[in-house]
Amino acid sequence: MPPNPTGPTNWQLRMLARFLRKAAKSNSSNIWRVVAEFVEKPRRQRVVVNVGKLNRIAEEGDVVIVPGKLLGGGQLKKKLVVAAVGASPKAIQKVLEAGGEVLTIPELVRRNPKGSGVKIVV
């Protein structure tokens, strides 16, 4: 019998972490390695961020990454580009209503391989 698995058992999260580690190595960009470490955390330690926190932390036009779930609590009044592992429909709606854009993490990596100017929100 194999030992208990550590890290995410969700194959999509495992593939995302592998993709981020490869991107970090090939682009010499540590930001993707850090995001991979957040993605690989156990379920109880995963990041959950409300759009209200994005409104407080980010500036107009910033590119932010949420290495967890984005939820729709609070108001968003700034135009942001947001990438997240997962997002609730309400959160997506609020980002789009504010004039922003919601991406998946691989889309953001392909758009900005070096990760310059990307802020991690935890």
Q: Can you give the pLDDT at residue 53?
A: 97
Distance CA 27, CA 21 (A): 10
Residue with tokens 């980002």: 95
Q: Can you give the pLDDT at residue 9?
A: 82
Residue with tokens 């900005």: 112
Tokens at 107, concatenated: 């889309």
Distance CA 87, CA 76 (A): 14
Distance CA 17, CA 76 (A): 28
Residue with tokens 């959950």: 48
Q: Can you give the pLDDT at residue 2?
A: 60
- Fold adopted by 11-120: Ribosomal Protein L15; Chain: K; domain 2 (3.100.10)
Q: Does the reported pTM lie above 0.85?
A: yes
Tens of each residue's pLDDT in the chain, 122 residues: 566 666 678 899 999 999 999 999 999 999 999 999 999 998 899 999 999 999 999 999 999 999 999 999 999 999 999 999 999 999 999 999 999 999 999 999 999 999 999 999 99
